[in-house]
Structure 1
Amino acid sequence: MPVEKLIGARAVNTLWLSLLTLTLTYLIAIPLGIYSGRYNNSRFDKGVIIYNFVSFAIPSFILALILLAIFGYKFGWFPTTGSVEVGIQKGTFAYVLSRLHHMILPAITAAILRTTGTIQYLRNEVIDAKTQDYVKTARSKGVPINKVYSHHIFRNSLLPIAAFFGFTITGLLGGSIFIETIFGYSGMGELFISSITSRDYSVMNALVLLFGVLTLLGSLLSDIIMTIVDPRIRIE
């Protein structure tokens, strides 16, 4: 099979896994980061800090093996390998459900590992924004605290997240090598490992080149997003 067709087939799987991972990452990280910063030094904040330490310190393959052993083998809630159930006709609703079922556990694993940075950035930004003059001015005018957070603090706190969005999405598209390999998910990360073990240098070179291009595109995408969300920044 030509290299471009081989990578193209795996890239589709990685794309869907990346989108689900990104969705779960922000669904987990944004509420935790905002509330942790709003109620800093509370029990909730301390719990989030402990979660951050654990998710940052634990290796990806260890977390993947733990979740696979518990939810894949012990309880049998999720498939332990593959990207879709064998024998299902492509394009049917059952096919879509099967793909989603196979993606959930790898996506949760990757999302847990990627929430750390987002939570910490948001927490720090919210804590810093609470001390700014525009927040004090809004509060002195009698603006409700919830409106201050939703209209002022929350919007400004998302700027660092927007700055790293491009790198995040292209990093996910590059493939989570250990996660895809452990779960047997047929993505670009798993293909990269298999090409190394089989000494398929043409596939290895193509993937390394592709990962490099994705990194450059991530930098460009981040700059474009920043010009959209922050009117003070312009591309010249």
Structure 2
Amino acid sequence: MHIDILTLFPNMFTGVFQSSILQKALEKKKFTYNLIDFREYTEDKHQKVDDYPYGGGAGMVLTPQPIFDAVQANTVDKNTKPRIILMCPQGEPYTQKKAEELAKEEHLLFICGHYEGYDERIREHLVTDEISIGDYVLTGGELGAMVVIDSVIRLLPGVLGNTQSITEDSFTTGLLEHPHYTRPANFRGMKVPGVLLSGHHEKIATWRREQSLKRTYERRPELLTQVQLTEREKQFLKELKNNKM
């Protein structure tokens, strides 16, 4: 995978790409990236990339010319057409399903805006996806892009040492992930559930599934409407609900 990032603040990404899993993925050549300061593409003699909005209003708006030209300059020689992603609080709420979808692409291009917003022609005629990482507003799209990139890169084959961890992630199964325990088995009187020490893999799998159901029911019950449940799991949730009442 190749990732292009259009930003006015490329230095913000330095630590992200030189740390932890992303750094290891780069060393393994699982992806490449290019930081593009789209101010370098402006035709304005003062290097401006924003202007006042027509009709008045607070704040400044990113002009279309430097972004269109930056995108064109960094996609014209590529063999694959990129997914052009606009980071925006008005965009599609980001999900694990979306991360899995983007992880199948060969070329992603992120547009990280600043100021009040984007010229609408950027949305209408350039981007393929608008993504929001939450119902709040940041000073720019860089932090949001980092979140999306991190969640996508970890899904690429060979990036994580244990591929099973991906399949058990929260939201990958449609449920929140089950609780985890490690040594010691008894820490200050707080004990690990006995089933996890039993060595009985089928019982452990059942316990983990039920704990995922329980945690999802308690914290994100709306997710349960999107999950296909067995009759046994439906009965488990029914009993859980009755015990809560």
Identify whether the pair has TM-score above 0.5, normalized to the shorter chain: no
What TM-score, normalized by structure 1, do the two folds share?
0.23
Which one has more relative contact order, counting CA pairs under 8 Å at least 6 apart?
1
Q: Going by fraction, where is strand more abundant, 1 or 2? A: 2
TM-score by length of 2: 0.22
Kindly indicate which of the two structures has a greater share of residues assigned to helix. Answer: 1
> Which has the higher Rg, Structure 1 or Structure 2?
2
